[in-house]
Amino acid sequence: GAVVSQHPSRVICKSGTSVKIECRSLDFQATTMFWYRQFPKQSLMLMATSNEGSKATYEQGVEKDKFLINHASLTLSTLTVTSAHPEDSSFYICSAPGGGVDEQFFGPGTRLTVL
């Protein structure tokens, strides 16, 4: 199946700093990518839809100025958590619809810990 990578896999940062997470589709192009957040022992919650060449679409309750999304190319979307705080500590996962099929393929996730 299609492969989606994320970098970094784990990041620990101090409160107030910004953290950038990359999501790449390795063997297919994705005009749309999705960013999810997963708190411990909870399911995935959609944060935003990343659209190549246009603005991201954010779900209700997600601050667009705090979670900046840039979909600069057909294989790369980035999520920047600005001025991170401890409550932003979570597991962030991206996904993309695999080229030509209806499945969603997920990255391995990024564990963010804000001290």
Partner 1 sequence: KQEVTQIPAALSVPEGENLVLNCSFTDSAIYNLQWFRQDPGKGLTSLLLIQSSQREQTSGRLNASLDKSSGRSTLYIAASQPGDSATYLCAVSVGSAGNMLTFGGGTRLMVKP
Query: Which residues have C-beta within 8 Å of that of residue 62, sequence separation ≥ 6?
Result: 47, 48
- Cβ burial of 100 (10 Å; 0-12, 13-18, 19+) is exposed
Q: How many residues does the chain have?
A: 115
Tell me the window of 12-20, 64-72, 76-84, 101-109 that interacts with partner 1 (CB under 8 A): 101-109
Q: Are 77 and 71 in contact (CB under 8 A)?
A: yes
Nearer Cβ to partner 1, position 67 or 105? Answer: 105
- Among the listed residues 34, 56, 112, 114, the single contact to partner 1 using CB under 8 A: 34
- Among the listed residues 44, 62, 68, 74, the single contact to partner 1 using CB under 8 A: 44
Q: Which residues bind partner 1 (CB under 8 A)?
A: 1, 6, 31-32, 34, 42-46, 49, 91, 93, 95, 97, 101-109, 111
